[in-house]
Amino acid sequence: MNESDNNSDHISERASDQIYSTPQERIRDFVFDENVAKVFEDMISRSAPGYSTIVSHIGVMARHFVQPNTRIYDLGCSLGACSLVINQMVEVDGCELIAVDTSEAMVSRCTESLQKAGHRFPVSVQQADILELDISNASLVILNFTLQFIEKGVREALLKKIYDGLVDGGALVLSEKLAFNHNSEQELMIKLHHDFKRANGYSDLEIAQKRAAIENVLIPETSGEHICRLEKVGFSNVYSWFRCLNFASFLAIK
């Protein structure tokens, strides 16, 4: 997933996502297993408009917000795209990067990628439930398309824990697939997103089967819901800094 020149060879050799290319008699709920992990780099780049822009700008924001002698958390790190760009961009002393994912397959591949990239500062990759993770002394927390996979009833508690674990001036970057209040906008954004996927080589069968697999797993919310919740847990400055179709990213500062 990392778009840097240092990993260009890896990107050129990435496995193609064919998971939903043939008819499936029974479509199971989407899970981040080994089958997904090995094609995730291709899947996310062809499925999420603006993804590479979000990742690269997370590196820019990391350089701005990460403070000396603090921690950086990449929660739901998947293959480690954000961790890799943060590792490249941050130059302050004494910081530590903690990348966390529940998927064993993702953690294994993320660990390998970060080891190959080398570390400017201590980096650890953990297989853990972020709902149970202790967060403290953080100057930057990343939730890059992670919150949408967490049960809605516990999202506020997670964000409150993140807020409490941030130092003053620390920031949360929250990227999410969006829902919309008005049916006309919702339907249009879904159609345009499907057109985006078709333009990237996905067939109608793949789009339909992936949608059936993920619709009960990925639960999107509106921009207003995200902003209100971030303000409710304590963030005084919340900005919508990026949107492409129904994919967006927010910056919340303590």
Residue 84 has a pLDDT of 96
Question: pLDDT, tens digit, for every residue of 87-139?
Answer: 999 999 999 999 999 999 999 999 999 999 988 899 999 999 999 999 999 99
Given a cut of 80, is residue 41 above it in pLDDT? yes
List, in sequence order, every residue forming a beta bridge with 169; answer none if it has no partner: none
Tell me whether residue 73 is exposed, middle or buried, using C-beta atoms within 10 angstroms of its C-beta: 0 to 12, 13 to 18, 19 or more. buried
Cα–Cα distance for residue pair 231/67, rounded to 1 Å = 23
Task: Please tell me the CATH superfamily of domain 51-179+217-253, with its number.
Answer: Vaccinia Virus protein VP39 (3.40.50.150)
Show Cβ contacts of residue 183 under 8 Å, excluding neighbours closer than 6 positions: none
- Band (pLDDT 50/70/90 cuts) for residue 13 is low
Residue 14 has a pLDDT of 72
Residue 135 has a pLDDT of 98
Q: Three-state DSSP class for 61?
A: helix
Given a cut of 60, is residue 3 above it in pLDDT? no
Residue 9 has a pLDDT of 38
- Per the annotation, binding residues are 51, 76-78, 129-130, 144, 211
Residue 99 and residue 114 in contact, taking contact as beta carbons nearer than 8 Å: yes
The residue type of 100 is V
Question: pLDDT, tens digit, for every residue of 183-214?
Answer: 999 999 999 999 999 999 999 999 999 999 99
Residue 6 has a pLDDT of 40
Mean pLDDT (the chain, rounded): 94
- Per the annotation, binding residues for S-adenosyl-L-methionine are 51, 76-78, 129-130, 144, 211
Tell me whether residue 106 is exposed, middle or buried, using C-beta atoms within 10 angstroms of its C-beta: 0 to 12, 13 to 18, 19 or more. buried
Among 20-34, 46-60, 138-152, 161-175, the range scoring the smallest mean pLDDT is: 20-34
Cα–Cα distance for residue pair 29/210, rounded to 1 Å = 9
- Band (pLDDT 50/70/90 cuts) for residue 67 is very high
